[in-house]
Structure 1
Amino acid sequence: MKDPTEQPMSRRARLRVQTSDEIKAIALRQMADGGPGAISLRAIARDMGMTAGAIYSYFATRDDLLTTLIGDLYGSLVETAEAARDALPQDDPGGRIQAWAYAVRSWALAHPEGFRLIYGDPVPGYQEPADSPGKAAGLRACTGLVGLVAAAWPTARAAAPAGRDYGWDDFDPGLVGHVREEFPELPPQAVALTLRVWGRMHGLMALELYGHLSPLIGAPATVYRDEMDALIASLGLSAS
């Protein structure tokens, strides 16, 4: 519901938002046509009939554009996954894992360049700032995945292959601090399991997005569903 106290945007502000959105859309088209190194503010300005000076008033550098673009895309992806997860009750951990996976795959198929920008192709010369919105969204996604495994852990710890005996020093200290704050009862083995769950969710999806599955199978969704069913079963769960 719209906040009745919210002031409407001015025409100038609306035009600025529309122009920023167009700049980001063209950047993704550039990446689709020529790879991540093809993103260029000057080329975008020519495409839009703008001067270089005008486009730099929106994004001072190519890296500023990339930082905003990655933050927007990653935020959209996480919101989509969280909404799918939260549509199912908390006492259905298998269903929530399945819903998260299917939502991420659907988002990736709808935004293939966005998926590649977040998870795949590094942009030459680009270093994402430590305080970027994309890093915040990545931490939110990681927290969501750890939460899924935490909910499944009472069953998964007995059903899933144990693997090696992990310790907290096996993981990034920033990740460890966040996990231990959010999930104080969770052991290091559960974090390792989270990474394995993430790998199984993304493996076939990445192969599909990069065009490696289509020559081999007519319906990639079928093999992805089978893989997610096997993943959920390996955790001792079922999806309702």
Structure 2
Amino acid sequence: MNNPTRSRRDRLRAQTSAEIKAIALKLMAGGGPDAISLRAIAREMGMTAGAIYSYFATRDDLITTLIGDVYTSAVDVAEAARDAVPDADPGGRILAWAQAIRAWALANPEGFRLIYGDPVDGYRPPDDGPARQADERACSALIGLVAAAWPTIQARRPEATVYTWADFGPGLVAHVREEFPDLPPAGIAMAMRVWGRMHGLIALEIYGHLSALMHDPSSVYREEMHDLVASLGL
């Protein structure tokens, strides 16, 4: 039989945890990642320091949870957009992923900065957990986008640079060789180039470098992504 008192307590705890994370991102927006501290959040919420430590034992625990939540949100949005496009249209799936990531970043600029931009001084991410899992999902999905189009890419763009497995980290190599056995080392390099073109303009926009130059950067981003897909022969 369900315990209504415990359910209510669980709901309140979840709400408080969500508020703590929201305030952490607000503090980051105002003062950068170094502005995130449990004591500052406790003051903002009218809590005692001891009370907030019952939710997150350390600042790094909070940062790890934030990164996991934010990264998972970004990948969920991008995967949903990608999956709305048929497998037979690899170029369309790349475009859908790219547009979804930009839309997510504009709606969550502090989250984008946390996972792709500003380092948190003294923070050491754990080797496993939701943040690592989301990172691996994003990496695998991007490589999968390239792997699905690789025969066309290779025919259109024979690589001038010769890559070997030794050019990449052993963890990445092991993952690619297991998940995408037909993708050569050059495919990993291409995935990195695709990622760079997707995220470069987004980062410039999020950090305010485009706002003084044009009113609506979406047209430049859209053109860049279409050029990316065309350059791959898709």
**TM-score range normalised by the length of the shorter chain:** over 0.9
1:28 maps to 2:39: no
Q: 2:70 aligns with which of 70, 73, 83?
A: 73
Correspondence 1:76-225 to 2 at 5 A: 76-160=73-157, 162-225=159-222
Distance across 2 between alignment mates of 1:13 and 1:37: 30
Distance across 2 between alignment mates of 1:99 and 1:61: 38
Deviations 1:162-214 (A, max 9, x none): 24100000001000000100001110011100000000000001000000011
Q: Secondary structure at the match of 1:10?
A: helix
State the identity as a percent.
70
Distance across 1 between alignment mates of 2:67 and 2:155: 38
Distance across 1 between alignment mates of 2:182 and 2:229: 22
So what's the TM-score if we normalise by structure 2?
0.97
Task: Call closer, same or farther: CA 1:77–1:7 in 2, change over 3 Å.
Answer: farther
So what's the TM-score if we normalise by structure 1?
0.94
Task: Call closer, same or farther: CA 1:198–1:7 in 2, change over 3 Å.
Answer: farther
Q: Once the 2 structures are TM-superposed, how far is the Cα of residue 161 of structure 1 from its aligned partner? A: 5.7
Q: How many residues align?
A: 232
Distance across 1 between alignment mates of 2:221 and 2:3: 45
Gaps of 5+ in 2: none
Gaps of 5+ in 1: 1-5
Q: Once the 2 structures are TM-superposed, how far is the Cα of residue 218 of structure 1 from its aligned partner? A: 1.4
RMSD: 1.4
Distance across 2 between alignment mates of 1:156 and 1:59: 47
| 1:49 alignment counterpart | 46
Distance across 1 between alignment mates of 2:114 and 2:191: 22
Deviations 1:14-56 (A, max 9, x none): 0000000000000000000000001010011111111111000
1:15 maps to 2:12: yes
| 1:3 alignment counterpart | none
Q: Secondary structure at the match of 2:47?
A: coil
Of stretches 221-230 and 209-218 in structure 1, the one that deviates more from structure 2 is: 209-218
Distance across 2 between alignment mates of 1:28 and 1:186: 38
4+ residue segments displaced more than 6 Å:
6-9
Distance across 1 between alignment mates of 2:216 and 2:156: 30
Distance across 1 between alignment mates of 2:231 and 2:61: 42
